[in-house]
Structure 1
């Protein structure tokens, strides 16, 4: 009877924390993709070639990918409240400064800075969700916060296009930079970890912890885990299962980074669409990706709740999604605008389904190395943010975009094969220190 009473009285603070992360993600992607909207006019003003634009698009990824492992370690070391506020404010300053550049070198450097300060963001997101949500709600929570990138871009891309139309590409960078600065302060004022939040009650804390949420840290007297040891890095780069999700994430991000960089240019320059019209049509694939992501997250959690194996419930939507992303190649075989958008939207719908892949970080990582595992996972995936924009710049330099779409579709197929053949039994890894801790707990219980 008491359990039923506690359930009725349980607070739902975790959803308000998730809402804050959702906005963080929307702003994060706003500042990654504003340059894709600005690219056509900015490229003319700065006399940038197609290949140079490819390098500019990739600059964010060079720093972002390189700093994922340090970013993951930092996320394990520092609390989300202060660290995320710092990241939001610093990357927003770098965004705002892009309005005042005069050439390739300065723009490339500021895109590097944006990637540098955004690097810890997704490891922090994963840490927040792992702390605030039980295992059986985690895929849905991840789907909801990741959907921020698609919902934000779907509804804000027409706004960004309109801002640039009236205020120019410089006004676009100023506006998006100021939004991030303000939100950094809002995050710091309202976010708290579960044990520090004044509105969370014991019933909700018990519900989270009994469901596998990790917010209490190590038990008193347990051996200390040194996250900076090379042994820990070896733990998260030596397992075949993790390599399966790393390769899969590269494939997922290949499709994502086409849409975050070259997509508006593809519509305007290579398909001849009006700039304002392209802004509205660009919303359709982002909405499709959001639908795929939400469908995948809730379906995956539903399968877990029905007693299906974790491997089946988590992997199946991702594999289906990656196979659907291959449909992007279909856009090469039509000149009808509606069909072009259909194929692109279907591919991005599939990519969205596969983006619940972050749930594998929570499932497979040693419990005290979630940030490090998330950093390695995001590093591997975000190598696509370097490779794909540059590769497309070279593949499309002669005015033919078809090979670029074949390239992206092929990577999606490789990602599906990775989940089918490399990702085996789904179970959490453990460090030697954690194994020792578990043994001590077992002996004490005996």
Structure 2
């Protein structure tokens, strides 16, 4: 009897698995260009600077559509928007394999990025609808882990696939994988109220713990987009996020090419080597996330003390400045693992810090959107700047050292620019009015 009950209570974990697969496929489609950059560049006569623009191009569409797609999710729900968006980015990935010029690759990658913009807004809505409050950390961990498992899987599988079938087939096959996810999504996934494959006990638990009560106090006030942009802490949050994302996208786009050209690895060898840091970063990120939750009491969270760990993690990531001085490739991979783990944990902890500091809870969606916009602006520049540096110097040394310095800038931002709560004045005014109202009554 207990076994049956436990099994039923875990039925919603299939939704968490689907979220994990969603981000896995998302990042698999992102990394296919990185793994196949060598043969693609040779076939289409693409230099390092042009390659940097191609690596960055998906972020153009992603950043442009991030907020509009979030509004569509709020308006039409996550089920249909996610399916349509994934159809768009899967088709764009397949079309990339048919490109005959760098411009063709550029356009298809921009469209792919526009489709992928729905991933995190949709997932946030799904987690809100499906995950009981005590499990939202588990659901978010499942979602974010796919963003690092995807590149690891891509590095291993795609390097082999490209070596036997060519880079064009790798795009076609990666794009096709998304349609299997879409079919399963549309067939099985509905709102928990209308899903038949969960027990009534589980359904009641999900609905009971979902936030449906009218928000009061500071939760009922909003300072809006303009108000958020007037907060110094909000800008610091965007800067910190950007410094994490810069390093994340540097390695996501250029790591295979770096291992092949700078470290003399074969296509297959670089794929295997690339998987190691991404798998290791998942372990580091999860451990640091647990450390953050276990060492902070509610009072420390309220004061924004999470900033200390954010800064410490990003400072540790700056060890990549030593990479150009090291000849042993395994030590290099170890330092890259630390950097990717720091970037992953830094991104997640910085989002948590934003929630700690925000006093007007109705602004959480706008605030997170701004935070991710800041991150993607930096991410947009990472592949391009790296391309110019490598083209000018013939090496990756200066580009990697620059990423380490940017890590330190982000750490300084977290430590010294995020002391003030966001929206504290508006929340305080609401509290004063509430107190005055109680006195009058």
- TM norm. shorter chain > 0.5: yes
8 Å contact from structure 2 (residues 31, 154) kept in 1: no
8 Å contact from structure 1 (residues 124, 371) kept in 2: no
- Match of residue 157, structure 2, among 146, 150, 159: 159
Aligned residue for 2:351? 358
CA distance in 2, matches of 1:183, 1:265: 30
CA distance in 2, matches of 1:127, 1:311: 27
Q: Which has the higher relative contact order, 1 or 2, with Cα contacts under 8 A spaced 6 or more apart?
A: 1
8 Å contact from structure 1 (residues 21, 125) kept in 2: yes
Aligned residue for 2:399? 404
* Root mean square deviation of aligned Cα: 3.2
**CA shift in 2, pair 1:33/1:179, >3 Å:** same
8 Å contact from structure 2 (residues 132, 206) kept in 1: no
**CA shift in 2, pair 1:165/1:354, >3 Å:** same
Output the TM-score relative to the length of structure 2: 0.86
Aligned residue for 1:330? 322
8 Å contact from structure 1 (residues 40, 265) kept in 2: yes
Deviation, 1:217, is: 8.0
**CA shift in 2, pair 1:109/1:157, >3 Å:** same
Deviation, 1:139, is: 4.1
Aligned residue for 1:96? 94
Deviation, 1:429, is: 7.2
**CA shift in 2, pair 1:417/1:193, >3 Å:** farther
CA distance in 2, matches of 1:113, 1:189: 26
Say whether 1:390 aligns with 2:392. no
**CA shift in 2, pair 1:129/1:245, >3 Å:** farther
8 Å contact from structure 2 (residues 277, 337) kept in 1: yes
Deviation, 1:347, is: 1.3
CA distance in 2, matches of 1:164, 1:369: 45
Q: Which moved more, 1:13-22 or 1:32-41?
A: 13-22
Q: Which moved more, 1:355-364 or 1:249-258?
A: 355-364
8 Å contact from structure 2 (residues 238, 371) kept in 1: yes
CA distance in 2, matches of 1:244, 1:369: 17
8 Å contact from structure 2 (residues 28, 174) kept in 1: yes
- Match of residue 275, structure 1, among 258, 264, 267: 267
**CA shift in 2, pair 1:368/1:85, >3 Å:** farther
Aligned residue for 1:4? none
Deviation, 1:161, is: 0.6
Aligned residue for 1:3? none
Aligned residue for 1:380? 374
Aligned residue for 2:331? 339
8 Å contact from structure 1 (residues 96, 176) kept in 2: yes
SS at match of 2:166: helix
Aligned residue for 1:241? 233
CA distance in 2, matches of 1:429, 1:196: 40
Q: Size of the alignment, in residue pairs? A: 423
CA distance in 2, matches of 1:15, 1:429: 37
Deviation, 1:426, is: 5.5
**CA shift in 2, pair 1:177/1:361, >3 Å:** farther
8 Å contact from structure 1 (residues 395, 401) kept in 2: yes
Q: Which moved more, 1:37-46 or 1:299-308?
A: 299-308
CA distance in 1, matches of 2:21, 2:317: 26
Deviation, 1:287, is: 1.2
Show structure 2 runs of 5+ residues with no match: none
CA distance in 2, matches of 1:354, 1:67: 24
1:314-333 Cα shifts (integer Å, max 9, x gaps): 43442222111111111111
CA distance in 1, matches of 2:359, 2:169: 43
Aligned residue for 2:415? 420
Q: Which moved more, 1:138-147 or 1:290-299?
A: 138-147
Show structure 1 runs of 5+ residues with no match: 1-6
Matches within 5 A, 1:61-140: 61-133=59-131, 137-140=135-138
1:174-221 Cα shifts (integer Å, max 9, x gaps): 110000122122222333344444423323433x34xxxx4x3868xx
CA distance in 2, matches of 1:15, 1:78: 24
CA distance in 2, matches of 1:136, 1:414: 34
SS at match of 2:91: helix
CA distance in 1, matches of 2:307, 2:47: 41
1:19-64 Cα shifts (integer Å, max 9, x gaps): 2111101011011111001101000000001000011111111121
